[in-house]
Amino acid sequence: MSELDEAWALALAEAQRRAHAAGRRDLTEYLTLRAANDLARTTAIDWLINEFTRSAGDANRIGASIQMSTDDAHRFAVGTATMVGRRLILSCRVRALSIEVGWPRTPSHGFIRGGGLARGHIRHRGRKSRDLELTLVQRAKGSPHWMTKDGSGAAKPLTTSTIRAHIERLAGDDY
C-alpha cells in the first residue's frame, strides 16, 4: 500500500467516525460502502498482478526469459475516464505483455461506464487481436471477480488458466 493509499484509508476512517458521531447514518453507510469497495478493488488488483507475476516466474523456472517491471502509480484511460492503479509489463525478446488495472480516484477522473468496481486491460504489443478489456464485478454474494471482454465483445471470467495462456503466448517457443 502506498503512502497516498494509507493516507486515504486513514482519512476515510476519520470521516466515518465523525459521520457516526454526528448521527449521519446515510453518510456513515456510504463511507462504509466506499471503504469496502476500495478494499475489494485493492485485493482484486493485488491478486491479478500476483497471478501474472507468479505465472511468469513459473515460466522462467522452465526456460523462458521473461523480464518484469511495475508501475504502482499508473494512469490510463478507459473511455473518457482516467483510471489510477497499477501496471505490470512482462517482456520476452521482442514481445511484451502489459497488464494495467485501476479505478477513478477523484471526481475529475470521471466514472466507470457500464458498471464495475475497477477496469483494466491486458495488452499484447503488436498483437491487438489478443488484447482483453478487464472489469472487476461484484457478485451478489461472495467475492468480486474479473471479467474479460475481447475484441468481439464476448465476456468471460478471468481464470488462472487464462493468465497462463497469456504467459504462454508471450514466452512462445521459450516456454
Query: What pLDDT, on a 0 to 100 scale, did the predictor assign at position 46?
Result: 95
Give pTM, 2 decimals. 0.83
| Whether residue 142 has pLDDT greater than 80 | no
Report pLDDT for 24: 82
| pLDDT (0 to 100) of residue 107 | 87
Question: Do 120 and 85 touch, CB atoms closer than 8 A?
Answer: yes
pLDDT band, very low/low/confident/very high, at 139 (cuts 50, 70, 90): confident
Q: What is the mean pLDDT of residues 127-138?
A: 90
Q: Judging by DSSP bridges, how do beta strands 132-137 and 145-149 pair with one another?
A: antiparallel
Architecture of domain 47-174: 2-Layer Sandwich (3.30)
Between residues 70 and 17, the one the model is more confident about? 70
Q: Say if CB 66 and CB 53 are below 8 A apart.
A: no
Query: What amino acid occupies position 36?
Result: A
pLDDT digits (tens, 9 = 90+) for 44-65: 999 999 999 999 999 999 999 9
d(CA 166, CA 47): 16
Whether residue 150 is predicted with pLDDT greater than 90 in this model: the reply is no
CB of 95 closer than 8 Å to CB of 170: yes
Residue ranges of domains in the chain: 47-174
